[in-house]
Amino acid sequence: MIETGYFAKIKDYPETDELVCVSYKYPWFVKKGLMRYLPRVVPEPKLLYEWKNGEITWEKYTQIYKTFLEYDYGALSEIEFLRLRSKDKTVRLMCWEKEPPCHRFILRDVILEAEQ
């Protein structure tokens, strides 16, 4: 199962969840090794900057990010890893944003689509 979460609530998630950092930077306040870090599925900082500054819409952000995930070999291998891991346990994609919009929700949907 693929779930999402955010760093401020990290202590609230079940210990059985496999936490995966899908943020540009591993949070300084989280013990190293507590989460798996998969940097290849993280969108380019420039893309986030463009969206946050109103240069592109969320729809355009989503389109660009999905295209990146579809064609980047490193991202594809990390998506496959997450898909396989989530068959046996809950994998929780972790980032800074509390609620959507956030790329981890797009990533979750891409992983779920890969299962079909």
Cα dihedral 96→102→106→111 (10° resolution) = 10
Q: 81-89: list long-range contacts, CB under 8 Å, 24+ apart.
A: 81/38, 82/2, 82/20, 82/38, 82/41, 82/111, 83/111, 83/114, 83/115, 85/18, 86/1, 86/2, 86/111, 89/1, 89/16, 89/17, 89/18
For residue 97, pLDDT beyond 90: no
Q: What pLDDT score does 33 carry?
A: 87
Q: pTM of the prediction?
A: 0.92
pLDDT digits 0-9 by tens, 12-63: 999 999 999 999 889 999 988 899 999 999 999 999 999 999 999 999 999 9
Number of domains, the chain:
1
Domain span including residue 76: 2-115
Q: What pLDDT score does 13 carry?
A: 95
Task: Write down the mean pLDDT value for the chain.
Answer: 93
